[in-house]
Structure formats: structure tokens, C-alpha cells
């Protein structure tokens, strides 16, 4: 049993390395080429609520964005959510989901405003681990998506919600670690 736990932890670490390395590479690449563009790294945390099942949990992630125009950005997200609740027929469950997503962010108002509203849509893959008491564990990789509506204050603080994965509402807030750099000087 002790060896089994070590193997499971090793596989989880390998998965996180496989997801984290490409994101870090893309972040460094876009950061080097973002002299006149807005680039952001936004760690975030929030609450996950089941829309189909009655469950609740926690969400943690990091989003990166790279502005293509004044109103359109490319966005990526690495996240982890854990949830507990009751599914169909009153069966209780626990679920952990790690996801890597890529998509677009569309702002409704100009970047000159202190507050901006935006929507995003991202798609990618998720790795899930679901447990129902008395049944074998279910693990796998599946497609994932996220559709969100957010509010940004001074390009620094972000908050809002999204529908993610298999019908979860994620309400989250985050802080931009890199303030907008639009001087155009290197």
C-alpha cells in the first residue's frame, strides 16, 4: 500500500510537470514579445458549486493573458478544483479536477476605463478523479471548457464567475501580478 501511494503521487507530480512546463514556456515567450501589449499573470481562488449535482468545493488556478487588440486577448488557465456533494439519487461523491485550458477574452469597454467587463471562452483538457463510497474510483482525461463573465478593476483585481467542466459554477477572484505595461519602451 505504501508503494502504491508513492506511485500515485509520482504520477500526479508528472502530470503537473507536463502541464506546468508548457505554460511557463508560453508565459516566458509571450512576456519577451509583449513590449507594446498588455500581458498579465493572474493567480486566483474561489468556490466551486455544482449546477447539476448538489455539491461545493474549492478552486485554485492561474490565468495568463496576452492582448491581441484593445478588446481581444488570448487567455490560458491552469486550475485545480476539489468538490464534495450528492449526485443523482442521493449518492455522495468526492471529485478532484486538474485542467489546462486555452481560449479568448473579449472586453466590452475600452482599455482607457478603470473598470472593464469581459467574457472569456476557453477549451482544453481536464484530468479527473471521482470517488463514490463503496464503488471503484473513476479516473481519466476528458475534454473541458469554460465560459465566464468577469469584472476587472484598474487591470489589477479581477472577479466574476464561469461555468466549467461538467456543469460547475466557479466564482473566483484574482490579482494581476504584472501591472499593465503599455509605454512601448524596452
Look at residues 68, 64, 72, 131 and name the one whose alpha carbon lies nearest to residue 102. 64
Spell out the CATH class of 2-175: mainly beta
**Ranges under pLDDT 70 in the chain:** 1-37, 179-186
Domain ranges of the chain: 2-175
What are the tens digits of pLDDT across the range 75-93? Answer: 999 999 999 988 777 788 8
Q: Does pTM top 0.85 for this prediction?
A: no
Could you give the CA distance from residue 25 to residue 21 in angstroms, rounded to a whole number?
6
Q: Are 120 and 146 in contact (CB under 8 A)?
A: yes
The Cα–Cα gap between 171 and 162 comes to 7
CB atoms within 10 A of CB 26: 15
Listed in sequence order, the residues at least 6 apart from 178 whose beta carbon sits closer than 8 Å to its beta carbon are 39, 40, 41
23 burial class (0-12, 13-18, 19+ CB within 10 angstroms)? Answer: middle
Amino acid at each position: 500500500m505504501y508503494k502504491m501511494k508513492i506511485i500515485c503521487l509520482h504520477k500526479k507530480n508528472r502530470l503537473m510537470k507536463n502541464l506546468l512546463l508548457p505554460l511557463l514556456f508560453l508565459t516566458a515567450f509571450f512576456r519577451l514579445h509583449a513590449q507594446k501589449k498588455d500581458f498579465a499573470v493572474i493567480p486566483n481562488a474561489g468556490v466551486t458549486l455544482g449546477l447539476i449535482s448538489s455539491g461545493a468545493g474549492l478552486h485554485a488556478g492561474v490565468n495568463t493573458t496576452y492582448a491581441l487588440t484593445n478588446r481581444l486577448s488570448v487567455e490560458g488557465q491552469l486550475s485545480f478544483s476539489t468538490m464534495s456533494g450528492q449526485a443523482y439519487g442521493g449518492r455522495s461523491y468526492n471529485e478532484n479536477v486538474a485542467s489546462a485550458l486555452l481560449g479568448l477574452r473579449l472586453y466590452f469597454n475600452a482599455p482607457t476605463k478603470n473598470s472593464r467587463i469581459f467574457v472569456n471562452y476557453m477549451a482544453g483538457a481536464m484530468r479527473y478523479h471521482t470517488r463514490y463510497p463503496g464503488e471503484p474510483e473513476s479516473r481519466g482525461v476528458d475534454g473541458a471548457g469554460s465560459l465566464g463573465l468577469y469584472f476587472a478593476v484598474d487591470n489589477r483585481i479581477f472577479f466574476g464567475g464561469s461555468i466549467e467542466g461538467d456543469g460547475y459554477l466557479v466564482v473566483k477572484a484574482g490579482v494581476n501580478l504584472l501591472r499593465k505595461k503599455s509605454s512601448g519602451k524596452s
